[in-house]
C-alpha cells in the first residue's frame, strides 16, 4: 500500500461569523495558542500535520500526554521524576463500585485533591479534607471528564519554570523560576486564575537558592524530554520538605504578556518579541 501524498496547501481558509468562507492567505507557520480540549490536546496539532502546516509547540503525542494528568504522571514516574501519589478511576468504576473506589483512596491521606484527568484552569479541581466530601468532589470532576484523579495533597511552595526548545542539536533551555504565592486562598483555583480573586500573587523570579534553581531546571528539562515535548512548555512543581515534585506539564502555557511563561523568560533576559521569534525559528527549523 502506498501512503497518500499530503495534499495540503499553505493557504488557510476560515468560515466567518456570517457563514461565508474567506482566506487568511498563505501561512508560513501556525502558533496554536489554544487551551484545553481540541486546542492543546493534540487534535489541532494532528489537523496541522494532515494539512502539512508547520506549527509552534509540541506534536500530537506530547500534547495529548500533557493534557492528561494520569498519563503525564505515568511517564514522569517512569523517568524517575517525583510526582504526587495518585489513584485514577473512570466514571464507569465510580458508577458500579463506588465503595471500592473510596476504599482505594484511603492510602492517599488528607487533604487530597480531586481533579478531572483532562481539564485545566483548575476547573473541576477540589481540595477534600473529610471523607464525606469525596462524593461531591468526584461528581464535580466527572462533569469535566470521564476519568478522575485523586492525589495526595502536598504542602509546599508552587514554583514553575519555562522550557524553550533550542535549535537542533542543543539541549532545551530553562528559564528562572516563577512562584505562585498562595496566601489567602485554599489553592490556586479558577477564581484566582481568571477572575482576579484576591489571595494569590505571581512572583518572578522566585526566591530560590542557586542549587535549588539548578535542580529544578534540570528536572524541568528532563520532564520536557520524557514527554517528548517540542517548542515550549511550562513545568509546574511543588517544592516540598522532601524536595521538588512535578505537578503538571503545560504544553501550551498561558501566553499573555503578563503570564508566567513570558514573565519567566523576561526575567531570564529574553523579551516578548525575542521569545516569539525564537519559537517561530525553532518551529521553522523543525519543519
Ligand atoms: N496534589 C496537590 N497538592 C496541593 N495542591 C494541589 C495539588 N494538586 C493541585 N493543587 C492545587 O490546585 C491547583 C490546580 O491544580 P492543577 O493540577 O494544576 O490543575 P490545572 O491543570 O487545572 O491547573 C494547583 O495550582 C494547586 O494550587
Ligand atoms: Mg495547574
Q: Please state the pTM of the whole predicted model.
A: 0.93
Structural domains in the chain, sorted by start: 11-56 (3.40.50.20), 62-83+155-286 (3.30.470.20), 86-152 (3.30.1490.20)
Mean pLDDT, all residues of the chain? 93
* Number of the ligand closest to the Cα of 158: 1
Q: Which atom of ligand 1 is nearest to the CA of 154?
A: 3
Mean pLDDT of 185-202: 87
The rounded percent of the chain whose pLDDT value lies above 70 is 97
* Number of the ligand closest to the Cα of 112: 1
* Neighbour-count burial for 204-216, b at 16+ CB within 10 Å, e otherwise: bbbebeeebbeeb
Q: What residues line ligand 1, using a CB cutoff of 6 Å?
A: 84, 113, 115, 119-122, 125, 151-154, 158, 187-188, 247-248
Protein residue whose Cα sits closest to atom 11 of ligand 1: 187
CB 283 within 8 A of CB 54: yes
**Long-range contacts for 165-174 (Cβ within 8 Å, ≥24 apart)?**
165/224, 165/229, 165/230, 165/231, 165/232, 165/282, 166/282, 167/281, 167/282, 167/285, 168/285, 168/286, 171/221, 172/221, 172/224, 172/225, 174/217, 174/218, 174/220, 174/221
- Tell me how far the alpha carbon of residue 53 is from its chain's centroid: 23
Strands 147-152 and 126-128: unpaired
**What is residue 127's predicted lDDT score, i.e. its pLDDT?**
97
276 Cα: distance to centroid of ligand 2 (angstroms): 23
Substitution candidate for ligand 1 out of 41, 125, 183, 238 with most atoms within 8 A of CB: 125
Q: Which atom of ligand 1 is nearest to the CA of 182?
A: 27
Substitution candidate for ligand 1 out of 110, 111, 113 with most atoms within 8 A of CB: 113
pLDDT in tens, 48-74: 999 889 999 999 999 999 999 999 999
pLDDT in tens, 81-130: 999 999 999 999 999 999 999 999 999 999 999 999 999 889 999 999 99
The dihedrals phi and psi of 110, each to the nearest 5 degrees, come to -135, 140
- pLDDT grade for 4, boundaries at 50, 70 and 90: low
**Per-residue pLDDT for 3 more than 60?**
no
Protein residue whose Cα sits closest to atom 13 of ligand 1: 188
* Number of the ligand closest to the Cα of 82: 1
* Number of the ligand closest to the Cα of 122: 1
Residues 6 or more apart whose Cβ sits within 8 Å of residue 67: 37, 40, 41, 42, 118, 120, 251
Amino acid at each position: 500500500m502506498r501512503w497518500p501524498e499530503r495534499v495540503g496547501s499553505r493557504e488557510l481558509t476560515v468560515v466567518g461569523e456570517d457563514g461565508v468562507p474567506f482566506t487568511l492567505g498563505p501561512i508560513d507557520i501556525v502558533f496554536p495558542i489554544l487551551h484545553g480540549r481540541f486546542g492543546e490536546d493534540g487534535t489541532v496539532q494532528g489537523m496541522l500535520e494532515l494539512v502539512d502546516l508547520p506549527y509552534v509547540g509540541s506534536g500530537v503525542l506530547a500534547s495529548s500526554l500533557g493534557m492528561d494528568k494520569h498519563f503525564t504522571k505515568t511517564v514522569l514516574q517512569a523517568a524517575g521524576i517525583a510526582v504526587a501519589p495518585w489513584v485514577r478511576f473512570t466514571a464507569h468504576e465510580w458508577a458500579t463500585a463506588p465503595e471500592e473506589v473510596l476504599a482505594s483512596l484511603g492510602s492517599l491521606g488528607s487533604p487530597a485533591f480531586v481533579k478531572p484527568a483532562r481539564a485545566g484552569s483548575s476547573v473541576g479541581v477540589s481540595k477534600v479534607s473529610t471523607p464525606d466530601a469525596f462524593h461531591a468532589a468526584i461528581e464535580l470532576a466527572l462533569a469535566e471528564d470521564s476519568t478522575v484523579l485523586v492525589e495526595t495533597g502536598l504542602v509546599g511552595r508552587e514554583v514553575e519554570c519555562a522550557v524553550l526548545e533550542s535549535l537542533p542539536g542543543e539541549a532545551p533551555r530553562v528559564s528562572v523560576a516563577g512562584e505562585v504565592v498562595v496566601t489567602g486562598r485554599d489553592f490556586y483555583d479558577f477564581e484566582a486564575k481568571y477572575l482576579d480573586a484576591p489571595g494569590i500573587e505571581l512572583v518572578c523570579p522566585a526566591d530560590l537558592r542557586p542549587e535549588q534553581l539548578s535542580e529544578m531546571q534540570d528536572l524541568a528539562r528532563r520532564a520536557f524530554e520524557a514527554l517528548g515535548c517540542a517548542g515550549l512548555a511550562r513545568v509546574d512543581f511543588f517544592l516540598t520538605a522532601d524536595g521538588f515534585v512535578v505537578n503538571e506539564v503545560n504544553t501550551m502555557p498561558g501566553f499573555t504578556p503578563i503570564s508566567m511563561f513570558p514573565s519567566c523568560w523576561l526575567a531570564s533576559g529574553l523579551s516578548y518579541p525575542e521569545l516569539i521569534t525564537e519559537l517561530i525559528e525553532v518551529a521553522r527549523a523543525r519543519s
